[in-house]
Amino acid sequence: MAGSVSRLVQGGVTSAQGFVASGVHCGVKPQKKDLALVFSRVPASAAGVFTQNKVKAAPVLLDMERIRSGRGQAVVLNSGNANACTAEQGMRDAREMAQLAAHGLGIAEELVYVCSTGVIGRPLPMEALRRGVPEAVRQLGPDGGSAAEAIMTTDTVAKTAAVQVAIGGQVITIGGMTKGAAMIHPQMATTLTVLTTDAAVAPPALHAALRRAADLSYNRITVDGDQSTNDTILLLANGEAGAPEIAEAGEALDAFQAALTACATDLARMIPRDAEGGTKLIEVTVRGAQTDEDAYRAARAVALSPLVKTAIYGKSPNWGRIFVAVGASGAEVQPERMSVRIGPVLVAERGGPAGEAETLEELVRYMAGDTVTVVVDLGLGKAETTMWTSDLTEQYVKENAHYIT
């Protein structure tokens, strides 16, 4: 039997067997933790997905080169500085970060991956990292919380999750940590994400599973439509649970895929929940589309619309803005067949208003909560998708107007 997925309430990047982590302050940022290390006691299969922005940070370029081997054992991550748009010096610094970690851990440099997040266009303060990486090695332990804290930038909370599933008679665990609060857009968001599992998965199967999970999670969130230079999701699978290796399609891979997608989705939803200046998580579902692509286009248009996001912030059930976004999305649309529901209230049907005046008060009360659902039915087919976004507030503008001043 494939087994069922169950959430580990306290789960994180060290929940899987054989993984340890640490988070320290070394001076990249003035005070808060700014350097994290995740380490597998044994070499692991590795997979990664990266930003599609053509301007890629040095750590992304290094990791894309190394991920071709399908092997890995450690990830070293810093916050406070993106090491992006730093020319040849940036590549030298990224490689030195890996060398420092490899030396401290006693492993091959090629098994170390590097991630950075923070301000773009400034060289890494390497003296701080030369002090910090050995300290991160010394502090490795079973608690992944400090590592999740160390990768935060404008995040207000650390983001961790884990799931378990039975495969081959053994319980395997998938855990992870993520960060991100703005510069979030499909085809990867401003995130550094490390996922770990004690399942044994061959690299080709691991890569395919991660790509599928990312498409259904990190490629379904948006905050502001901007796409980072540093987006990275890395997955290490060390086989320490003792279950048979997963190498091809079948029940075992299906169970692993479901658990991985559940973990990635849980983590990804935390990002718009914690969006810069945000007060609400908005879940946008488009159903009744002719094709999956149409459903995605329509949902993305609604989730990205500043007019929709500001209306929801203001508790204004201005469903006309939703119609406008869908109509401009490029999806096949017949307005007379569309309906829109905000939370429990049907606000539009057959291309026009629905409901009575008394439902307005109910809707305003609903929209005062911290989660708002929007369901658009195009009435044309069976395709459906869901995206997650945040509301757009004055605080978002204030935070980003003074990000480096």
DSSP 250: S
Going from the C-alpha of 273 to that of each of 206, 220, 313, the distances in angstroms are: 28, 13, 13
Q: What are phi and psi of 174, to 5 degrees?
A: -125, 125
- Cα separation, 152 vs 179, in Å, equals 6
Q: In 10 A of CB 248, how many CB atoms?
A: 10
Is residue 386 within 8 A of residue 294, CB to CB? The reply is no
Helix H or strand E segment including 181:
none
- Whether 190 is catalytic is yes
Catalytic residue from among 160, 190, 261, 386: 190
* R_g of the chain computed on alpha carbons: 22
Helix H or strand E segment including 20:
strand 19-24
The residues, any chain, with a CB within 8 Å of residue 17's CB and separated by 6 or more, are 173, 198, 238, 240, 241
- Cα separation, 198 vs 335, in Å, equals 49
Short-list 68, 19, 18, CA closest to 48 = 68
Going from the C-alpha of 58 to that of each of 85, 206, 232, 259, the distances in angstroms are: 8, 24, 12, 31
Q: Which residues are catalytic?
A: 190
